[in-house]
Structure 1
Amino acid sequence: MKRGLQLAVIEDDPGLRELLHEELESEGFVVHPFECVEDFQAQRTQLAISLVISDIRLPGQSGLELLQQLQQEPQPLPFILITAFGTVDQAVQALQQGADDFITKPLDLEHLLVSVKRVLEYHQLRSEVEHYRRARASEQRGPGGILGASRVMRQLFQDIEQIAPGDGSVLVLGESGTGKELVARALHKGSQRAEQPFIAVNCAGIPAELMESEFFGHSAGAFTGAQKARAGLLQEANGGTLLLDEMGEMPLALQAKLLRVLQEGTMRPVGSDREVQVDVRIIAATHQNLEAKVTAGEFREDLFYRLETFAIQVPPLRQRGDDVMLLADYFLAQLQAQQEKPIEGFSADAVATLTSYRFPGNVRELQNAIERAYTFCSEGAIKPEHLPARMQDSHQQDVEQLVPRNGDWPSLQAVQEDYVRQVLAHTNGNKQQAAKILGVTRRTLYRWLDSLEPASRND
C-alpha cells in the first residue's frame, strides 16, 4: 500500500475530527478533515481521495446519503462509516449499500487503522485484478475487438486482416449466433472505407415485394404511394459498406440486379429511366448452404462465384474450446458493470456444464444464458441451477452416459481416467482449463496424469 494516499474524514465533532486527523497522518496518510458532507462535496473535485471515513449523523446530509450517492458513480470510492448509534440493522443497511466497513463509537483507533489499511489494500488489489483482466482481454481480441483466443479464431482474425484492406465483395458464412455481423464490421473497420457509412440489413426481414425499392430506391410516382423520390440502401451506403445479412433470402430477380451493381458500379432506381453510379462494398452473410441453393436453382451461380472469391467461415462456439469461458467471463463482467452484485464468477460445476454443452445457438445463446444466470444468482458463484434447464439436462445426460447398460461395470478409477481423458481432449490439452472443469488443483490433475498410461497423458 502506497504512503501519502489521501483520505477524507467527515466528522462534526471537532475533537474526534482532530484526533482522527492526527492518528491517520501519523500512519503516513494525507488527511482532509470536513465538518459536513457539503464541505466535502465542494472540494472533492480538487482532491485525489482514495478513501472516505464518515460519521452517519451529520449536520445536513447524512453519511448514508453520501454513501448512496457515491455508489451511483462508475468507480465508487472506498467508504468506512462510523457512528455512536450503531445497531445491527444500521450495519447491515450500510454494508448492503456498499460500505466497506462499519465501526461504532467509542472508536478503537487500532481497530480503525487496521480497517483503513485492509480496505485500501483490498481496493488496490481489486484495481490491479481489473487492470490485468482488461489487459488480458485486449490480448485476446482480434480485428474489430472480436474476443477469442482459440486456434480457429486466430485463423479467422488472420483471414479478416488479409481481406479487409481490399475492396472486393466478401461472403461471410456461419451458423446463426456466431457473430457474422461482428466480422462484417471488422472488415469495414480495417478497410479504406472505415470513415464512411456501414449499413446492415437483414434480407429475411424485408417483404419480397418491397425489397427492390429498399435496395435501389425509387423515383416519385414509381408506384402507388411513392409521392417522393427515395434513395435506397445502396445509395445510403455509397462510399462505404453494405452488409446483406441472410443473403440467401434475396429473390433471384433482385440477385441479377445486384450482380450488375457489383460488375458495373451502376444501378437504376425503381421507376427511373437513368443509371446512378454507386461505390459500395458488398458483404453478404448467411447461415445457409448457398452452393446447395445454386444446385437447387434458388441462387444465381454467377453471383455465388462473384461473392465466394473472398469467403470467410465463422466457427461455431462448440469448436472454440476455452473461448466459452473467456466469453462467459466477459459477459459476466459486462453485467457487473451495469448492475454490481456480490457474484464471484462460476462454480466448477457451472464451468463443467457450460464447457460440455454444444451451444446450437452459439455466442448469442451463451450471452443469454449468462444474463439469465446473473439474474437468478444473488451472491457467491454462479451454479448450474442458475443456467437454463436445457444446459443442466445436457450435462446430466453426458454424466449418465458413463453408466453401462450391459451390466459390465468399470472400476471407479477407470471411469475417472476416461473422464479425465475426455476433459483433456475437450480442452485441447489445456491442463489449467481441464483442472477448472474437474474442480481440482493442477497439482491434483498432474498426480492423476502420472497414473495414466503414457500414451494417454495428452502431454
Structure 2
Amino acid sequence: MFQKQPHILVVDDDSSLCEILINMLDQQGYRAEAVHEGRTAIEQVRSSEPDVVLIDLRLPDMSGLDLLKQLMESEHNLQAVMISGMGTIHNAVQATKIGAFDFLEKPLDTDRVLLTIKNALDRRRLKKEMSDLVESMREHYQMVGTSPEMMRIHELIRKAAETHIKVLIQGENGTGKELVARAIHNNSRRVGRPFVAVNCAAIPETLIESELFGHKKGSFTGAIADKPGRFQVADGGTIFLDEVGDMSLMTQAKVLRTLEDNTIEMVGGSEPIPVDVRVIAATNKDLQVEMEEGRFREDLFFRLNVLNIRVPPLRDRVQDIPLIVEHFISQFCNEHGVRLKKISSRAMGRLAAYSWPGNVRELKNFVEKMVILLESTEIEPGEVVTLLESHTREKVVTPRTLKLKEARDAFERDFIRSVILTANNNITRAAEMLDIPRTYLHKKIKNLGVEV
C-alpha cells in the first residue's frame, strides 16, 4: 500500500544548517524543505501541511516561541521541535507549555535529531488514529433526530459536556440512555480517555462491589490476583452506571462515598485509592418512588441528579423515525457489505405507524433484519408489513383483561396518535395519510381522547 512520505519543514535563518539538515533528512527518506523567516513558515505550513516543523528559537522577524504559538493555535496535530544555540530551562519549559514536542540544543547531534523526528511522527500518527477513532465512535453512537424533544436533549448534552457535573439520565428501556452518556463523554474534555459502561442490573449482588472497586489477592475465594475495579479502569475518563436503581443499599453507600471524596477502597484493601472519574448514571425506574419505599438512598439521588436528562420514548417523537431508519439502513448496509437500500415513503409510513414499545433498540434490530432479509434495493410497504407481522408474532403477548371494544379503541388511539405525530401535528395531512375526512378524524380524536 502506498504510504505518504513524511514532510519535514526546517525554520532557521542559518542557511548552512538548513542545507545540512535537508540533506540528512533526504537520505532518511523524508521530504524536507527550509524557510528562513517566521511569516514564510506560517504560509508554508498552511499550504503544504508538514508533519513536523523544526523551529529555531531566534528568527529575523519574530521569536521562535511566537511562531510556535501561532502554529499550535491553527494546526492542532502539527509536531514542532524547537532548536537553539542558547537554550535555557526557561525557554524549554515555555516551549513545552505552548505545545512543542521537544527542545534540541545546538550543535545538533544527528542521531538525536533523527530519533526525535521519528518519535514526533509516531506521536502525530497516534493522535491521528485517536482522532479518527473518536470520530468513528461519534458517528456510530450518534443520536439521530430533529424533533423538539431531541433538540432539547442535544442542548442538555452540550451543557453537560462543557462541565464536570454529574448527570442522571432517565427513560424507558431502549430509548438510548447510553447514547446520551457517550455523547456527553465524546464532546467533553475527557474524550480520548476511557468510557466504561457498567450494567448494575446484570452483575450479581455478591460480585458488584468487586466489579466496581476491584479486589486484593486473597480477599475472597477465587481472588488469585489483584484486580482493578471499573472505577480504576475509568480513571481520567467517564464511568456510566446503567440501571443504577437496581443497586443494593450497601453498594449505594459505597458509591456515595466515592462520589464524596473521589477515592475507592478495593475489596480486601485498607488504603483509599484516588480516582479522577466523571460519573453519569441512568435508570428506567422512578427513583422518587424507589426513595419513598426505601430502596434508593436520597443522599445518593441528590449527588447523581445534578443535571437530569429525560429521554423520551420513540412514540413521543415519531417524526424522528424516518431519520433514524435512514441512519440504520446506511449503517447496516455498510456493516454487512450490502448495496445501499432505499425505502419508499409508504413503507416508511408503515414503520412510523407502529408503536415500537422497545423504542429505538427495537427499531434498530428490525431495520437490521430488514436490510439482511429483503433482497430488493427499494423497500416497499408490502415487505415491511410482512416483516412487521413476523416481528410482532415473535414477541411475547401478555394477556390483558380488556373487552374487544376497549382493545380496539386502544389500538385506534395509539395508531391515530402515531400518524398525527408523523404528520408533525398537521391534522389535514394526518387525515390524508389515514384516507379519512378531516372532520371524521377530529371526531375520532375527541371520542378516543387522543393527545395532540
TM-score range, shorter chain: 0.5 to 0.7
Partner of 1:389: 389
Partner-residue secondary structure (3-state), 1:387: helix
Alignment of 1:44-443 (within 5 A): 145-337=142-334, 338-341=336-339, 343-346=341-344, 348=346, 350-379=347-376, 380=378, 381-383=380-382, 384-389=384-389, 423-424=419-420, 426-429=422-425, 437=433
Aligned partners of 2:417 and 2:311: how far apart in 1? 28
* Residue type at the aligned position of 2:152: Q
Going from structure 1 to structure 2, the CA distance change for 1:374 and 1:433 (only over 3 Å counts) comes to farther
Aligned partners of 2:159 and 2:210: how far apart in 1? 34
1:202: Cα distance to partner?
0.7
Counterpart contact for 1:143–1:186, Cα < 8 Å: no
Structure 1 residues 310-332: Cα deviation after superposition (integer angstroms, max 9, x where no partner): 11111111111211111112212
Counterpart contact for 2:214–2:228, Cα < 8 Å: yes
Partner-residue secondary structure (3-state), 1:242: strand
Going from structure 1 to structure 2, the CA distance change for 1:425 and 1:163 (only over 3 Å counts) comes to closer
* Residue type at the aligned position of 2:424: N
Going from structure 1 to structure 2, the CA distance change for 1:343 and 1:432 (only over 3 Å counts) comes to farther
Structure 1 residues 344-387: Cα deviation after superposition (integer angstroms, max 9, x where no partner): 41351x33322222211000111112222333323242533343
* Residue type at the aligned position of 1:385: V
Going from structure 1 to structure 2, the CA distance change for 1:432 and 1:279 (only over 3 Å counts) comes to farther
* Residue type at the aligned position of 1:428: N
Going from structure 1 to structure 2, the CA distance change for 1:336 and 1:270 (only over 3 Å counts) comes to closer
Going from structure 1 to structure 2, the CA distance change for 1:145 and 1:433 (only over 3 Å counts) comes to farther
Aligned partners of 2:332 and 2:285: how far apart in 1? 32
Root mean square deviation, CA, Å = 3.7
1:299: Cα distance to partner?
0.8
1:195: Cα distance to partner?
2.4
Counterpart contact for 2:319–2:421, Cα < 8 Å: no
TM-score (norm 1): 0.56
List alignment gaps of at least 5 residues for structure 2.
1-134, 396-403, 410-414, 447-452
**Identical aligned residues as a percent:** 40
Aligned partners of 2:319 and 2:372: how far apart in 1? 24
Structure 1 residues 201-260: Cα deviation after superposition (integer angstroms, max 9, x where no partner): 111111110111111111122112222222111111111100011111111111111101
1:424: Cα distance to partner?
4.3
Counterpart contact for 2:354–2:418, Cα < 8 Å: no
Aligned partners of 1:392 and 1:439: how far apart in 2? 25
Aligned partners of 1:318 and 1:174: how far apart in 2? 13
Going from structure 1 to structure 2, the CA distance change for 1:335 and 1:439 (only over 3 Å counts) comes to farther
| Comparing 308-317 and 423-432, the one that deviates more | 423-432
TM-score (norm 2): 0.56
Partner-residue secondary structure (3-state), 1:311: strand
* Residue type at the aligned position of 1:255: Q
Partner-residue secondary structure (3-state), 1:196: coil
* Residue type at the aligned position of 1:220: K
Aligned partners of 2:158 and 2:217: how far apart in 1? 43
Aligned partners of 1:157 and 1:143: how far apart in 2? 16
The number of residue pairs the alignment matches comes to 288
